[in-house]
Amino acid sequence: MKNSVRVTADQYGNVIRQSSNPDYGFIVLEQQVVTIRENGFVDDPRTFKALISGKISNLKFLDYYEGKELPGNIIVVESTTPFNTKNPNKHLKINPKTGEILKDKNNQAIYRDTIWDSTGCRENVLIPHVRSEYISRSVDKKVENTEKEITSIQTSLFTDDEDIFDTDDKEIVGGGDSIMLQDKEEDVEEIVIPEVIVEEHTEEEVEEEDEEEEYEEELIEVEDDEEEFLFEI
């Protein structure tokens, strides 16, 4: 059961209320709705409000006064798309007790607005909201299912027939849908490079070595006919 839509005024009796821009303003409409449940129980009356906005000069032309009855209904419209792109947080649907932003089953924020339908033909457009703990459980469930799928894929890579598939020298790499087997890396034996000891020689020892090299060069004989080199050391 719905009462008529009525024009309201502020505490000073002004029907047209000025916005931050002095050239523009708005009028507040109000409607009381009483809901009767299927079991016959009557809920407390609920008051819905909607705005008519525009230039103050145009609003004055309507000649609205406090208490004036208007046709149609005030309806509730909910959406997951912001109604005001410049101020998207303006119409967020919020739990008045907890301050929580209400979201749908897909974890998308719900935006809520009330508008005056002068035809009385339109119906409320409502989006069911879910509690945050339900969304959290849903996400945890998806993670659990994903982990089960990964385990199933890993298990399917193996067989009991050792002759067909021997995995002793294999290891699993990757994740998700891109799981594969590759040969395990063998341990590489560390090569120890022996320490090279450099001996220091005195000037006399160096001179003796040079003399020995000169002597060895003198022993080199070249045979032109056979073009062979003989080295006597």
pLDDT in tens, 18-71: 999 999 999 999 999 988 888 889 999 999 999 999 999 999 999 999 999 999
What residues make up the domain containing 19? 1-70
More confident site: 220 or 140: 140
Number of domains in the chain: 3
Same domain membership, residue 86 and residue 51: no
Yes or no: say if 31 and 74 are a contact pair by the CB < 8 Å rule.
yes
Spatial CA neighbour of 81 closest among 90, 72, 69, 94 = 90
Same domain membership, residue 96 and residue 31: no
Rounded to an integer, the average pLDDT of 151-155 is: 60
More confident site: 162 or 193: 193
Q: Does the residue 36 lie in any domain?
A: yes
Q: Does the residue 29 lie in any domain?
A: yes
Please check the confidence at residue 175 and state whether its pLDDT lies above 60: no
Q: What is the pLDDT of residue 1?
A: 74
Same domain membership, residue 43 and residue 84: no
Please check the confidence at residue 116 and state whether its pLDDT lies above 50: yes
Please check the confidence at residue 183 and state whether its pLDDT lies above 50: yes
Q: Does the residue 86 lie in any domain?
A: yes
Q: Does the residue 11 lie in any domain?
A: yes
Strand residue runs (E) in 67-205: 69-70, 73-79, 111-117, 170-173, 180-183
Average pLDDT of the chain to the nearest whole number:
75
Distance (Å, whole) CA 102 – CA 95: 7
Same domain membership, residue 172 and residue 141: yes
Rounded to an integer, the average pLDDT of 124-138 is: 73
Q: Does the residue 232 lie in any domain?
A: no
Yes or no: say if 113 and 124 are a contact pair by the CB < 8 Å rule.
no
Please check the confidence at residue 204 and state whether its pLDDT lies above 60: no
Handedness of CA 10, 12, 18, 20 (dihedral sign): negative
Which of 40, 70, 100 corresponds to the end of one domain? 70
Same domain membership, residue 66 and residue 2: yes
Same domain membership, residue 101 and residue 53: no
Q: Does the residue 25 lie in any domain?
A: yes
Same domain membership, residue 139 and residue 121: no
How much of the chain exceeds pLDDT 90, in percent? 45
Q: What is the pLDDT of residue 115?
A: 95
Same domain membership, residue 143 and residue 108: no
Of 97-101, 130-134, 194-198, 214-218, the range with the lowest mean pLDDT is: 214-218
Q: What is the pLDDT of residue 228?
A: 45
